[in-house]
Amino acid sequence: MEGNCSAEYERYLTIPRENATIDWFTGGGNTNRLAQPVANCILGNTSEYIMSNMAAAAVVLGLMPTILATVGNSVEETSTLCVIGQRPLIALLVAAGSPAIHPIRSFEYMNPMKLVKPRHYRLRTERSSVPLRTVTLAIEFLAAIAAIINTYTLCNQLGVMVVSMLAPQLTYLEFLWSIIGISSHVSAAASLWARTRITEGTRRGYIGEVLSRQFKPLDEKDWTKAFIDEDETYCSMALSYFTSLLGTCHLIYGSMLFSSLVFISATDSLKIMARYMASAMVSRFILMYELFWLRDILGQRKELFSRNDAIELTQPNEILEHRGKIYHRSTADSGIFET
């Protein structure tokens, strides 16, 4: 820097942006007129060996958003935990800790009851005591916060220490990628919430009751009655479509952003992926644990709700007819739940 690019770096530090000249032929523009000459000078004085190393890092980082999406949380799962499990706080934390998401297809939003139906082939455990579940919940919050700190510390380090060819003058591009991922989870939860109908009390009172239980373990005795409408509303359809668009844009933007990073080695790119993946796996474990207990609670109750009318499932393979509809224990996905 001092021997070859000191003049460009000096102009970057001292000249106001509006007074700097633009080198259009080397990729300069109105927004990067100060940072582009410095980055271009450094690259021009870099050896082919280092350039090849940075190219390998760009390949790894460009694939990272897609790889993280396979181990991260889906918007269907976080929205189910938020609305049906009444855990908006922990759902938001695990979404923030694992920003990579897998895009969903437009107008093909998963029925949330498929995620919380009792699965007889899955691992089962005995219901633990309330104090033990409270301690476990505290550990979940601490682990989720640690994942968030790791993720956003890494975003800050990448913004300050690494240059993106998309916009070399900006340092918040990685933060923007994370925020778009959180927005997808929030939009998915809002889409499911738009189909929720409160049967006891007001919607505001229901929200207040849910928020007051964020630091308590899941317990079927605390739930308030509500159900999810089988029919989609215009609002839920619009939010579902918006969620799919956000997921697609998030994946495209993430691939472009991380593949455009320079001045980073292939070894460092693996460390970056490992840190993002660690946060994703911790968040995934927390989410699966919460959904595990949610399935256990619904399995203990053994009932579904359709338009405020309870349908009791007394036998594992019992077939019931209710209002002209056939319900089977293994396929009863009315989308209705009691909370």
State the first-to-last Cα distance of the chain, in angstroms, to the nearest integer: 62
Which of 37, 46, 59 is closest to 273 using CA atoms? 59
Same domain, 69 and 170: yes
Same domain, 13 and 151: no
Residue 144 covered by a domain: yes
- 186, 227: one domain: yes
Does one domain contain both 151 and 41? Answer: no
The encoded tokens of residue 65 equal: 């958003």
Q: How many domains is the chain built from?
A: 2
Q: Are residues 6 and 88 in the same domain?
A: no
Contact 317, 332 (CB under 8 A): no
Assess whether 201 and 276 both reside in one domain. Answer: yes
Same domain as 268, residue 121:
yes
Grouping H, G, I as helix, E, B as strand and the rest as coil, residue 273 is helix
For residues 141 and 9, state if they share a domain: no
Q: Which two tokens stand for residue 52?
A: 């090849």
This prediction's pTM: 0.80
CA distances for 55 relative to 1, 62, 86, angstroms: 21, 10, 45
For residue 186, count CB atoms less than 10 angstroms from its CB and return exposed for 0-12, middle for 13-18, buried for 19 or more. buried
Range(s) of the domain holding residue 236: 48-299
7 within domain boundaries: yes
In tens digits, the chain (339 residues) has pLDDT values of 666 788 888 888 888 877 777 777 777 777 777 788 888 888 888 889 999 999 999 999 999 999 999 888 889 889 888 888 888 999 999 999 988 887 777 766 666 767 777 666 555 556 667 788 888 899 999 999 999 999 999 999 999 999 998 888 888 999 999 999 999 999 988 988 888 777 666 777 777 877 877 888 776 655 555 666 666 778 888 888 899 899 999 999 999 999 999 999 999 999 999 999 999 999 999 998 888 888 777 665 544 343 444 434 444 434 344 444 433 333 334 444 444
Residue at token pair 């899941």? 218
